[in-house]
Amino acid sequence: MTTRHPENHPENQAKNSFGSYLSAALFVVFASLALTNLTGCEWGSIGYNKGYAPDQPVAFSHELHAGEYKMQCLYCHSSAERANHSAVPSLNICMNCHLVVATDKPEIQKITEAYNNNTPIAWKKVHMLPDHVRFNHKRHVEKYGAPQACHKCHGPVESMETMYQHSSLSMGWCISCHREKENQAPVSCSTCHY
Amino acid sequence: MDSQNTQNTSDSNTTSSGSAYWMSLEQWNGDQALADRFENEFMSSPLSSEDGKDGVARRDFLKIMGASLALATAGCIRRPQAHIIPYAKAPKEITPGEPNYYTSTWFDGTEGAGVLVKTLEGRPIKVEGNPEHPMTLGGLSARAHGEILSLYDPDRLRAPVRNLQNKERTNKESVATTFEEADEKILASLKAGGVALLTGSKPSPSLKAIVSDFSKAFSGARWVQYDSLPVDAIRAGQKASYGRAILPRYRFDKASMVVSIDADFLGTFLSPVEFAKQWAKNRAPGKDMSRLVAFESFLSTTGMNADDRFRIRPSQQLDVVLSLISRVAKLSKGSVVIPGGISAAAKAFENAPKALGFDEVLFDKVASELLQARGSSLVIAGGLPTLTETQVELQVAVNALNSMLGNDGKTIDHDTAVFETMSGSAESLQALIADMAAGSIKTLIIDDLNLNYLLPQDSGFSEALKKVETVVYTGNRNDETGSASQWVLPAGTGLETWGDFELQSGVFSIQQPTIMPMYQTRSLGEVLLAWTAKAANAPQRVKSAATWRDYVMGVWKAEIQGSVELGSGKSFEDFWLQVLQVGVASNKGRRERSGSGRAFVGSISEASLKARPAVGAGYELALYPSVQIGDGKLGNIAWLQELPDPVSKVVWDNYLQVSPAMARKEGLNKGDIVELKVGDVTVKAPVLVQPGVHDSVVALAVGYGQKTAGKVGNGVGVNAYPLSSLAKGKSIFSGRAATVTKTSGRYDLVSTQDHHLMEGRKIVLESTKSAFEKDPSSGIHKHQIFTIWPEHQYTKNKWGLAIDLNSCTGCSACVIACQSENNIPTVGKKYVMQGREMHWIRIDRYYKGSPDNPDVAIMPLTCQHCENAPCETVCPVLATVHNDEGLNDMVYNRCVGTRYCANNCPYKVRRFNWFNYMKKREEPLHMAYNPDVTVRPRGVMEKCTFCVQRIRRGTNKARDEKRDLRDGEITPACAESCPSDAITFGNLNDPKSRVSKMFENKRSYKLLEELNAVPRVAYQVRVRNADRVMEANSHGPADNHDKSHGDDVKKDDKKSHGLLKQDVNEKTGELV
């Protein structure tokens, strides 16, 4: 027969240790306030890197490509509608145009050289999910279509000269969408964590 | 444990677990230390060992935390910075993160399987069975899974090596060399003539072709084949009996009565995956359930599954077969006649059963069952334990019996699809050694067979090798044979090169490379092609082949396309593409046939029987390959070393198996080091007291005790090969007289059999065929359950797993499949000793009856994904929760490592990461990780997830294709590789799914139902096809099963247990 010992009951445990929970919580609040002042990070983005905009080895501008020339997101990030990952395009995608377009510019010459030497470019990763999280691009693109789906997380990419992280990518932020009834999205842990 | 005196101690014992089943002799004897261990979930505190060495000790943790806090204040910079490195020129077939599968073939010298290799971004990460392969049908053994770690083995040679030798022909210095330099020097000596090529069996059409071309090009170079686990006695026996030296195809799918004479066909003999698949098909309980009787010198995987089991000495194998022959003839009352050539020999053994100490009634029953199942019975002998002095006579006798019973051409396929391909021969090896010693062999090429380790001293191989001017070795290590060679040219692994196989006649399969060669390696085919192409008189097909792949394609075009169904009516290009896609080409109709009965012409002379050494009072040696590492080639694979032996559950060692009676007689205990003397050779080995071993047999596994395997395999166990003998054209591994002397030494043997003990709770259920026919639910104990918990509602999928105990052979392939799929670490012997093995699926092995010859029950145990999961209610941080598809999710990033869940799990399936095991993985082993599964850090609990990553992939795929999931589309790694299809996974919300039907099956039961945990794993009762009353319990510990339930269920208890005969009290006739 299944029995539950009262002392094991989660509620009682919570009561017993309420004091220590409170002090821990206060500590976290103060510590984050202090850190925010010191680091200059955007408020609320501690540990989440919202606003992170590293310099890339090649000064690629989404503003130019997606904004001015109105190129489709999926032209370069084609695996976003086919796979879990939305891969950064391989150089042969760039060279589809840049074999003939803007070949005199130094940044383009960088990628031409890399392409010819078959040496990949190491881009700095901007959007990094917390550990132990899996995200399926395909499902989200399928639901909203590109570029609407892209905008929801990546923000106004077509106006970004340098790519930056638009959303916090925190779990609370993910879940806020998943919980909305009309989205009919799953919220069980192993949807994302496995 | 100071005494093995089981008869005396057990009756009065009250501390032992109290079930009819027991897992170890310690439990049987009621060892107090073991009883104490029952009380604790974890075997020792993590702080009691030297922590500092293995990771960050706890106090240092705060210091480091302080430092990282300071770093965090340096600016809004992410730490660590990560990079995305896309291809410069992306290959078309690769989408990052999406696996590609390639068909291929795995072959380890005796066993082969069709495989699918899962690759990610050009990196193989898992080997899976190819369901299209007609032999293995998608099953895969534990050893085959290990191929991935062979590929990433950090200890294998990365470039050719030249060994500069002394005058005494020992290695002075190893220097790096190149293939170009080696080719030039070796070609010169090849042209001088006197060339021989020494390999294991190569069932490969292309290799056969290139060897013949090579031979033509270099003045008739000789090809000698020798197998580390020889099967040439079977070929010799076939030749003596029927005139043609073949290795027949055993057809367990046609056999309703199988008698195995020391042939471990479910574990290590020939093609265990294929055999298990076929055998399990005929084991469905019911009228047509097949029977398996084993005559064994020690307990093997096959013996564990046998319905009846007789213990014999290796030297008595022939006696058994001959007396079966005479009994069968006698019982047939003249309808079955003993062939003339052996009638005299058989007559001499009419009364042998008594002399062998068998239960004569049972023995006659076996004989009469064989007679009844004429044409559908199968008598099989083979494997190392049968390689005695009379190995060929044994095969002749077995053939005679099969011919008498009309099995030849029915359960024994000799005609249409036989292994003609295993052609190793001790005789031709001996002839070669003689020529080497005489100096007539100038250049010897040895292919990846560490013969200086494998061959016994009396073969004279290592001495003869020194007489050969140029020795070339294609092994992946500079090992004992390598250092005796001038040139070591590593061959790489089968995952890196092209190749092909004909594992059975007419079954052609392809070996595709799945990664560029990681290092400077060349396979044997490539090496021979390169040399032959440079010979003056190179054949045309060699000249026209620019690469080894071209050569393989040429052979398929010329020799194979015309002979298989797949090849007819299409161009070679189309055929080749299809071969690559399917992986295999064979003729269906051909595989259905077995040929017809052949005329038996064999004979066994009485003289040869009399010439046998007399069976004295001494001990006899039986050598065997272990299920884990086979002949030892896979010794450096940590997964396999840490895989508990299916029978003894010992890890990271081999050991001398002795029977409990012998242990009593010689005063031996587990872990005592003994000196084992066989002939002139003495080996020191630790003792394991193992139930089921014959009282006069000592058994030791080969393949251990390596010095040059690498960091994992070096020094694990003792080398048993020197105890074998190669003389008079025979390899002798068993039946030799052995003397055992106890020394004062002690050694820690680590066995997992007492870990995760079920405290005597009866979770493994068995029934018998006759009981099952009366009541399909026999053996199951039903409880009345009262619950206040509301039921969970599942609107979409509801995952469930069914495990058929009747099909499970205990082969442990699932354990390694799971380990490979789920990035499960190995922890090493020291931590296994502390009960910290990490396997998500464990295979419990239970004994029942007396320790001399117990019955065995096997039970794979994995997370039960309970509806009312006891682990979920105790987790203070909600790290383990129920999801909407019924999975018991484990959320690693919430887990803080309280281990409450493991403490509260009645099935003991949760595993804790005591250390950062993964960080210790040496490169390039990290390339074997599956990126679909999180690598768990220290301090986190983990357990079986039902392969949730595969569920996600499967459901996503169905959604992409806008359809419902198909039954069987999602298969966890364990079910996928199970050779006997014992595991079924699927959706319980679909009443038509296979798993739903298994759940409704009358044999279905849930573990510890009375706890109302409501497991999502259903087991099917194991049904034994034997009706003998097992008297075992009269010696065993009292069955106090009732106590564990409480009084309220006691009445039901009696009813449901009554159907097992062994539960009947002999005196009162009451059910206990």
**Residue A2 token pair:** 């299944």
Band (B7; pLDDT cuts 50, 70, 90)? very low
Q: Do A85 and B97 touch (CB under 8 A)?
A: yes
Partners of B960 on chain A (C-beta within 8 Å) are 138
**What is d(CA B43, CA B57) in angstroms, rounded to the nearest whole number?**
20
Kindly report the nearest CA distance between residue B207 and chain A, in angstroms: 36
Interface of B with A in 926-965 (CB under 8 A): 933-934, 945, 948-949, 952, 956, 959-960
Band (B779; pLDDT cuts 50, 70, 90)? confident
Nearest CB partner across the interface for A194, out of B95, B873, B949: B949
Q: Do A193 and B891 touch (CB under 8 A)?
A: yes
Q: What integer pLDDT is reported at residue B535 of this predicted model?
A: 86
What percent of chain B clears pLDDT 90, i.e. is strictly above it?
A: 49
Q: SS3 of B238, please?
A: helix
Could you report the per-residue pLDDT of B691-717, keeping only the tens digit for each?
A: 999 999 999 999 999 999 888 989 899
Band (B537; pLDDT cuts 50, 70, 90)? confident
Interface of B with A in 558-587 (CB under 8 A): none
| Residue showing tokens 């054209």 | B729
Tell me the CB-side half-sphere exposure of residue B548, using CA atoms within 13 A.
Answer: 22
Q: Do A87 and B883 touch (CB under 8 A)?
A: no
Given CB atoms, is B789 within the 8 Å cutoff of chain A? Answer: yes
Burial classification of residue B568, based on how many CB atoms lie within 10 Å of its CB (0-12 exposed, 13-18 middle, 19 or more buried): exposed
Partners of A124 on chain B (C-beta within 8 Å) are 81-84
- How is chain A split into domains, by residue range? 62-88+123-191
Band (B206; pLDDT cuts 50, 70, 90)? very high
Given CB atoms, is A159 within the 8 Å cutoff of chain B? Answer: no
Q: Dump strand ranges (E) for B721-812.
A: 725-727, 730-732, 737-746, 750-751, 766-768, 799-804
Q: What integer pLDDT is reported at residue B245 of this predicted model?
A: 87
Band (A1; pLDDT cuts 50, 70, 90)? very low
Mean pLDDT of A49-54: 84
Could you report the per-residue pLDDT of A142-168, keeping only the tens digit for each?
A: 888 888 999 999 999 999 999 998 988
pLDDT at position B802 over 90? yes
Tell me the CB-side half-sphere exposure of residue B703, using CA atoms within 13 A.
Answer: 25
Q: What integer pLDDT is reported at residue B1033 of this predicted model?
A: 31
Could you report the per-residue pLDDT of B1019-1060, keeping only the tens digit for each?
A: 999 998 887 544 333 333 333 333 333 333 333 333 333 233
Kindly report the nearest CA distance between residue B797 and chain A, in angstroms: 13
**What is d(CA B776, CA B1002) in angstroms, rounded to the nearest whole number?**
6
Q: What integer pLDDT is reported at residue B72 of this predicted model?
A: 42
Closest CA to A177 of A128, A132, A139: A139
Report the sign of the C-alpha dihedral through residues B605, B610, B613, B615, in that order: positive
Q: What integer pLDDT is reported at residue A62 of this predicted model?
A: 93
Q: What integer pLDDT is reported at residue B765 of this predicted model?
A: 86
Question: What does the DSSP 8-state code read for residue A80?
Answer: G
Nearest CB partner across the interface for B84, out of A82, A88, A189: A88
Given CB atoms, is B70 within the 8 Å cutoff of chain A? Answer: no
| Residue showing tokens 């071969």 | B579
Q: What integer pLDDT is reported at residue A29 of this predicted model?
A: 54
Partners of B945 on chain A (C-beta within 8 Å) are 190, 194
* Minimum CA–CA partner of A139 in chain B: B956
Partners of A84 on chain B (C-beta within 8 Å) are 97-98
Could you report the per-residue pLDDT of B668-692, keeping only the tens digit for each?
A: 998 999 999 998 899 999 999 999 9
Tell me the CB-side half-sphere exposure of residue B898, using CA atoms within 13 A.
Answer: 14
pTM beyond 0.90, yes or no: no
Kindly report the nearest CA distance between residue A158 and chain B, in angstroms: 21
**Residue B793 token pair:** 């509602």
Q: What integer pLDDT is reported at residue A30 of this predicted model?
A: 56
CB atoms within 10 A of CB B470: 20
Kindly report the nearest CA distance between residue B877 and chain A, in angstroms: 9
Given CB atoms, is A3 within the 8 Å cutoff of chain B? Answer: no
Q: What integer pLDDT is reported at residue B1055 of this predicted model?
A: 33
What percent of chain A clears pLDDT 70, i.e. is strictly above it?
A: 76
CB atoms within 10 A of CB A31: 12
| Residue showing tokens 């010191």 | A38
Q: Which helix (H) or strand (E) holds B607?
A: helix B606-610
Q: For residues B276 and B811, is the Cβ–Cβ distance under 8 A?
A: yes
- Residue B237 phi/psi, 5-degree rounding, is -65, -40
Q: What integer pLDDT is reported at residue B4 of this predicted model?
A: 38
Mutation target to probe the A interface, by most A beta carbons within 10 A, among B65, B68, B77, B85 is B85
Band (B38; pLDDT cuts 50, 70, 90)? low
Question: What does the DSSP 8-state code read for residue B1048?
Answer: G
Mutation target to probe the B interface, by most B beta carbons within 10 A, among A36, A55, A132 is A132
Could you report the per-residue pLDDT of A112-122, keeping only the tens digit for each?
A: 999 999 999 99
pLDDT at position A194 over 60? yes
One-letter identity of residue B550: D
Closest CA to B145 of B938, B821, B983, B853: B821
Kindly report the nearest CA distance between residue A144 and chain B, in angstroms: 15
| Residue showing tokens 């509806």 | B867
Band (B62; pLDDT cuts 50, 70, 90)? very low
- Orientation of helix B524-533 relative to helix B205-217, angle to 10°: 30
Q: What is the 3-state secondary structure (H, E, C) of B632-697?
A: CCCCCCHHHHCCCCCCCCEECCCCEEECHHHHHHHCCCCCEEEEEEECCEEEEEEEEECCCCCCCE
pLDDT at position B115 over 50? yes
pLDDT at position B577 over 80? yes
Count interface pairs A-B at CB distance under 8 A.
149
- Orientation of helix B205-217 relative to helix B548-555, angle to 10°: 110
Partners of B896 on chain A (C-beta within 8 Å) are none
Kindly report the nearest CA distance between residue B424 and chain A, in angstroms: 47
Could you report the per-residue pLDDT of B154-164, keeping only the tens digit for each?
A: 999 999 999 98
pLDDT at position B91 over 80? yes
Given CB atoms, is B463 within the 8 Å cutoff of chain A? Answer: no
Could you report the per-residue pLDDT of B848-875, keeping only the tens digit for each?
A: 888 888 999 999 999 999 988 999 999 9
Nearest CB partner across the interface for A193, out of B90, B893, B1012: B893
**What is d(CA B656, CA B640) in angstroms, rounded to the nearest whole number?**
19
Instruction: Spell A167-189 as b/e; 16+ CB within 10 A means b.
Output: ebbbbeebeeeeeeeeeebeeeb
**What is d(CA B640, CA B1069) in angstroms, rounded to the nearest whole number?**
48
* Minimum CA–CA partner of A185 in chain B: B884
Mean pLDDT of B767-777: 85
Q: Do B1011 and A124 touch (CB under 8 A)?
A: no
Kindly report the nearest CA distance between residue A116 and chain B, in angstroms: 9
Nearest CB partner across the interface for A90, out of B75, B89, B960: B89
Partners of A122 on chain B (C-beta within 8 Å) are 83-85
Q: What integer pLDDT is reported at residue B161 of this predicted model?
A: 93
Kindly report the nearest CA distance between residue A40 and chain B, in angstroms: 6
Band (B740; pLDDT cuts 50, 70, 90)? very high
pLDDT at position B150 over 60? yes
pLDDT at position B1071 over 90? no
What percent of chain B clears pLDDT 70, i.e. is strictly above it?
A: 89
Nearest CB partner across the interface for A120, out of B85, B884, B933: B85
Could you report the per-residue pLDDT of B819-850, keeping only the tens digit for each?
A: 999 999 999 888 888 888 899 999 999 998 88
Mean pLDDT of B585-611: 81
Q: Dump strand ranges (E) for B867-1002.
A: 880-882, 888-890, 911-912, 941-942, 983-987
Kindly report the nearest CA distance between residue A32 and chain B, in angstroms: 11
**What is d(CA B242, CA B245) in angstroms, rounded to the nearest whole number?**
8
Mutation target to probe the B interface, by most B beta carbons within 10 A, among A5, A11, A84 is A84
Given CB atoms, is B32 within the 8 Å cutoff of chain A? Answer: no
Kindly report the nearest CA distance between residue A148 and chain B, in angstroms: 19
Q: What integer pLDDT is reported at residue B349 of this predicted model?
A: 84
Instruction: Check residues B490 and B834 and name the one with the higher pLDDT.
Output: B490
Domains in chain B (CATH in brackets) are: 249-413 (3.40.228.10), 613-751 (2.40.40.20), 766-1063 (3.30.70.20)
Q: What is the pLDDT of chain B when averaged over all its residues?
A: 84
CA angle B206/B212/B217 to nearest 5° reads 125
pLDDT at position B923 over 90? no
Nearest CB partner across the interface for B97, out of A41, A84, A120: A84
Q: What is the 3-state secondary structure (H, E, C) of B281-334?
A: HCCCCCCCCCEEEEEECCCCHHHHHCCEEEECCHHHHHHHHHHHHHHHHHHCCC
- Orientation of helix B317-331 relative to helix B391-404, angle to 10°: 20
Lowest-pLDDT range of B1-15, B88-102, B173-187: B1-15
Q: For residues A161 and A149, is the Cβ–Cβ distance under 8 A?
A: no
DSSP characters over B183-220: HHHHHHHHHTS-EEEEES----HHHHHHHHHHHHHTTS
Kindly report the nearest CA distance between residue A159 and chain B, in angstroms: 22
Band (B46; pLDDT cuts 50, 70, 90)? very low
Q: What integer pLDDT is reported at residue A8 of this predicted model?
A: 42
The highest-confidence range among B208-212, B216-220, B559-563, by mean pLDDT, is: B208-212
B931 preceded by a cis bond (ω within 30 of 0): no
Band (B43; pLDDT cuts 50, 70, 90)? low
**Residue B265 token pair:** 């066909």
Q: What integer pLDDT is reported at residue B1017 of this predicted model?
A: 93
Q: Do B960 and A138 touch (CB under 8 A)?
A: yes
Instruction: Check residues B1070 and B275 and name the one with the higher pLDDT.
Output: B275
Q: Do B81 and A122 touch (CB under 8 A)?
A: no
Q: What integer pLDDT is reported at residue B79 of this predicted model?
A: 57
Q: What integer pLDDT is reported at residue B1037 of this predicted model?
A: 35
pLDDT at position B172 over 80? no
Mean pLDDT of B531-535: 90
Partners of B934 on chain A (C-beta within 8 Å) are 131-132, 193-194
Interface of A with B in 19-58 (CB under 8 A): 35, 38-42, 45, 49, 51-52, 54
Kindly report the nearest CA distance between residue A157 and chain B, in angstroms: 18
**What is d(CA A74, CA A147) in angstroms, rounded to the nearest whole number?**
8
The two beta strands, B487-488 and B470-473, are parallel
Partners of B75 on chain A (C-beta within 8 Å) are 39-40
**What is d(CA B485, CA B483) in angstroms, rounded to the nearest whole number?**
5
